[in-house]
Structure 1
């Protein structure tokens, strides 16, 4: 009889992912944040940094390229970094100009709902926030689309002040207090409507 070899079990690999662009460090140059990635790698994975970015490794890699290819690679890297910096600056500017609106809407007589709009600009998931608010205030909470197409969260009850405090406590790192604005929305009473029509 022939000897039967035992099957070889595959070994698990440990892959390091960049803390800046979330790509493996070998591919950080394609992410657009190469300088930040290199700094992160140097502080968190010095052995891998030495393998990829040390003077010996860089000269060994560049020696295989022609002069024109080296120039193109340098220009491409500069363009990608400029684009990434520009988009980051636009995001910061957009966040600074954006507002989170907390609106108290009167439904009938003494019943109110609280509507929150503008959270998605700050990188928050409206469905998750709606679920968290429902648990926090032990009330109904849902994410819906407004007629304008924007997402909004509706929480039953007048919890507008509490929502602001909760947002600042839980998501204060993402949302500056200056960007939260209150809106009071009352239903017009029949008497007000009749007076306006006269």
Structure 2
């Protein structure tokens, strides 16, 4: 029987931790950004935050190398697909931007009874805000009750105890930079009622 060499115990290799980068726009790994709907924004984010990775994925050389192994027909198809995807993503971004540009946040002061007021805020969800989280922020900021309630038209609004309409406007502009000042409307429910009554009486 042949001699066998004694077995040497091999130390298990230390597991190497691998730092995975996730896109700050679509949250996918940058290699997969093209499958999300925000390629252009993803590219800008990657170029700014991880230039070397941007070069590796999106530089002309990288894109040429990726398609050079394809047949001419497949290359044309890939190019067409890429253009289609980019156009689709751009259209989606534009639609979203238009929606935001035309969305109004209404801050309404409502008189409940004998100088008791509440302030209702609606339209925040159009800016991608989580109403429960914002209601919590309002409650903390103004040390008062604040809750999300359903409105008859089907949406939701935040109702804050007390007359804090001006303070809420300031707070929104300071904390949520995505909301343009021109898109915030202050309404006094009492005045609105009077105006409606006057209009009805005059008609």
CA separation in 2, counterparts of 1:46 and 1:9?
30
2:7 aligned with 1:13 = no
Root mean square deviation, CA, Å: 2.6
CA positional deviation for 1:58:
3.2
Residue 112 of structure 1: aligned partner: 117
CA separation in 2, counterparts of 1:39 and 1:144?
38
Conserved? CA contact 1:98–1:179, under 8 Å: yes
User: How many pairs were matched up?
Assistant: 189
Query: Structure 1: where are the runs of 5+ without partners?
Result: none
Q: 1:101 to 1:13 in 2, by over 3 A?
A: same
TM-score by length of 2: 0.81
CA separation in 2, counterparts of 1:38 and 1:181?
35
TM-score by length of 1: 0.83
Conserved? CA contact 1:20–1:36, under 8 Å: yes
CA positional deviation for 1:98:
1.1
Q: Which one of 168, 180, 185 corresponds to residue 181 of structure 1?
A: 185
Q: Which one of 101, 123, 126 corresponds to residue 106 of structure 2?
A: 101
Conserved? CA contact 1:144–1:154, under 8 Å: yes
2:162 aligned with 1:157 = yes
SS in 2 for 1:112: strand
Query: Structure 2: where are the runs of 5+ without partners?
Result: 1-5
Residue 84 of structure 1: aligned partner: 89
